[in-house]
Structure formats: C-alpha cells, structure tokens
Amino acid sequence: MEPCEQPPHSAADTLELPYRDLTVLELGHSVAAPFAGQILADLGARVVKVEKPSGDDARGWGPPFIDETSAIFQALNRNKQSIICSLRDADQVDALIHFIDAEVDVVIQNLRPGQVDDLGLDAKSLRARKASLVYCNMGAFGSKGPLKDRPGYDPLMQAFGGIMSTTGEEGRPSVRVASSIVDMGTGMWAVIAILSALQSRVATGQGSLVDVSLFETSATWMSIIAAQASVTGISPGRYGSGAASIVPYKAYTTTDGEVVVAAGSDSLFRKLAVALSRAEWADDKRFCDNPARVLHQAELYGLLDPIFATKSTSEWMASMEAAGIPAAPVNTVMQMLEHPQTAALGLIQTLPGCSMPVLGLPISYDGHRPVPRSASPVLGADTSSILDPYLSILQVRNNVPS
C-alpha cells in the first residue's frame, strides 16, 4: 500500500492539546501500558517508550504486518518516541534514571512483578529523588493480596474476573470478548488516575503513586452483574446477546444477518407488539411488565424469534425506526468502518508516514478530534537524542579522578 496522505488542514490541526507540556515515560509493553501511553500522547503529551533491544513483543504480534511492524503495534503506539534501554546494563539504567530526574513528569510501568524494584526504577526509589513525579503501576492482580506477584494477561483476567462466565450462550463453553477490554480498560483507568494525580500536583507540588490492575478492571466491569448476584446469592448464567433483567433485549436472526432490538421498557414493548401486529401481547399477563417478561422470556423469545426470521435486517431496521424502537444491525468490523456515521464523526484517521488508517481518540474538543502527529516509532529511533546524552554525562563523571 502507498503511505497515507496527510489529512487536509483544519482547525483540528492547530488544536491546543491539554497535555502538550507533559513528558511521560512508558516503561511498558503489550497492550495495557502502551494504550495508556497512547491516550496521553493523543492528548499532546511527549511519550517516550522504553523498549528492550529486541523491541516490544507486540511488534511481532501478527500477521497482519504493515510498514514492517504488526498492525496491533501500530494501533497502540502512535505519537510516541522510542528508546532502547537494556535493563541488564547498569549504565543504561542509570542514564534512564537521570533522564527521569531531569525531564519526566509521569512514569507508567507494567513490567513483571518485582522487576522495577530490582532495578531501582520503582516508585519509592524514583520519588525519593523527584517528589513531583507521578508514578503509575499497572499490575495484574493489584498491589496487595496473595496473588500480587503473579503476572497476568487479558484472557486470564476475563476468566478470573468473572467476565467469561457470563459471556456466550447457556450450555456452551465460556467465550472471551474478542477485544482486549481488560487491557484497554486498565489503560483508561491508568489515565484517569494519572490525570487526577497531576491535578493534585498543581495544588501541592507533590506527585504520587497510583496503582491500577487488570483484575480490578475486570471486576469493575462486572459491577452491574455483581450487584445482581450479591442480591440473589446466585451467579448468573449466560444470556447470549440478551440480558438477565431486561426483556426483550437481544439479537434476532433475520433472512440475511442479525438485528438487535432493545425494547426493554413497558412503553417500548407496547410499540414493538403493535409494530409486529401483536398488540394483544401488551395485555398478556405473561408480558405486561418487565418482571413478567423476564420470568417468561423463553416463551416471549420463542414467539419473537420466528417473526424476525421472516424479513431482512434492513426491512426490520426500517420497521423499528418507524415505530420509534431502538434497534441496530449486527455489523461486521468492515461494515462499521465503512459506515457513514463513522465517516461523519471523523473517527478513522490517517497516520503521517503510515500505510494504515486508525481509529482516533474518541474525544473531541469544541468539535475537533485530536489529529495524529506520527505513526508508531521505529525501534530505538530516539535513543541517541534522548538517552545517549545522559549516558555520556555519566561516563564522563565516572572517568573523572576523585
């Protein structure tokens, strides 16, 4: 593919990004820390990504590959600088510490448990040198408890946090949500925590240590379901595309695809009954209100499924919209990317120097979405300009006779 063309000039090109004076050190890999770093970079921060000599493992997570790196890596590392630092080399680590002392406002790290402590790159050591530093740990199981030293990955946390137990269809194996919702969610919580800490620093001049973890994110995504389980004392089952406490509220197979209809309130159910020429359902004691419909959902869905199977998705969409009933087609990823609504919002953006379009930051300021400034960095592209000067200073100091 040919490199992407530069986006046309617009007010977004000159948008004053809120964190343009912030320097962030991303001592991370894979998805969670890079996603947090990318959010801050999209908001204007200078984000310096520390990589081992062989690079972030995510560079090799493919196919597909684009511009000599994986599409996954491109999707998580735009607007950053890359430096190579061998964490087994004491001089390089020392130079990294001096860079932090001199230039860094925020450190994000998701290395294996205990590694930063062994290297002197932990929050206690760095904040003893620089009290204004905001330091964010992104662990697997959190900073306390019997599992605090265990590593973790998104599918493990979807399993451990209960998400997989409720995803899929009853009587069938557990299903992982395909998107890395725990990794990316943890990245979002990290940014929220960091920005809160920076706000406190404005008032006090002091940084702080913030902790987020994959498990805490996974558990928090379960808040609504956990509340229901706490009340009943029963772990909920799987409802496919539906919901445990709202009916009718699921996807139906049509002649050419699927359509989701969300008629969860009593008034919407009455509209649905009329739209389907089943007005009598609204007065049926089995379906007259949501608690009754939840109790009798097998019967109701048994009536609805064959009706929706008689027409196409577009026909049902037209019927539902005419009746004022919330509905959506089950789009493929490509259908979503090519939809006029996606285009109207400007969600798909080009990366300067990259052959792959990306989904931009889902935030706009005064109607303008931040524009990507650069593609993901070439491995170690900024080592000489960022880390080498500190390494040289330390070497000179070490060679001066006492």
Number of structural domains the chain divides into = 2
CB-based contact 354:66 (threshold 8 Å):
yes
> 149, 154, 183, 283: which is the annotated catalytic residue?
183
Position 46 in a domain: yes
Q: Which residues make Cβ contacts (< 8 Å) with residue 36, sequence separation at least 6?
A: 26, 28, 108, 136, 138, 186, 187, 188, 190, 191, 194
Of 329, 359, 376, at which residue does a domain stop?
Answer: 329
What stretch of H or E contains 273? helix 266-275
Q: Are residues 277 and 314 in the same domain?
A: yes
pTM of this prediction? 0.91
Position 230 in a domain: no
What 3-state DSSP class applies to 351? Answer: coil
Tell me the C-alpha distance between 243 and 225, whole Å.
Answer: 10
Tell me the C-alpha distance between 37 and 46, whole Å.
Answer: 9
Tell me the C-alpha distance between 116 and 145, whole Å.
Answer: 19
Q: Are residues 93 and 211 in the same domain?
A: yes
What residues make up the domain containing 80? 11-221+341-399
Q: Are residues 278 and 347 in the same domain?
A: no
Position 5 in a domain: no
Position 1 in a domain: no
Closest CA to 111 of 172, 38, 57, 184: 57
pLDDT tens-digit readout, 123-141: 999 999 999 999 999 999 9
Q: Are residues 103 and 210 in the same domain?
A: yes
* 56 annotated active-site: no
Q: Are residues 16 and 38 in the same domain?
A: yes
One digit per residue, the tens of pLDDT, for the chain of length 402 reads 333 333 444 455 557 899 999 999 999 999 999 999 999 999 999 999 999 999 999 999 999 999 999 999 999 999 999 999 999 999 999 999 999 999 999 999 999 999 999 999 999 999 999 999 999 999 999 999 999 999 999 999 999 999 999 999 999 999 999 999 999 999 999 999 999 999 999 999 999 999 999 999 999 999 999 999 999 999 988 999 999 899 999 999 999 999 999 998 999 999 999 999 999 999 999 999 999 999 999 999 999 999 999 999 999 999 999 999 999 999 999 999 999 999 999 999 998 888 899 999 999 999 999 999 999 999 999 999 999 999 999 888 777 554
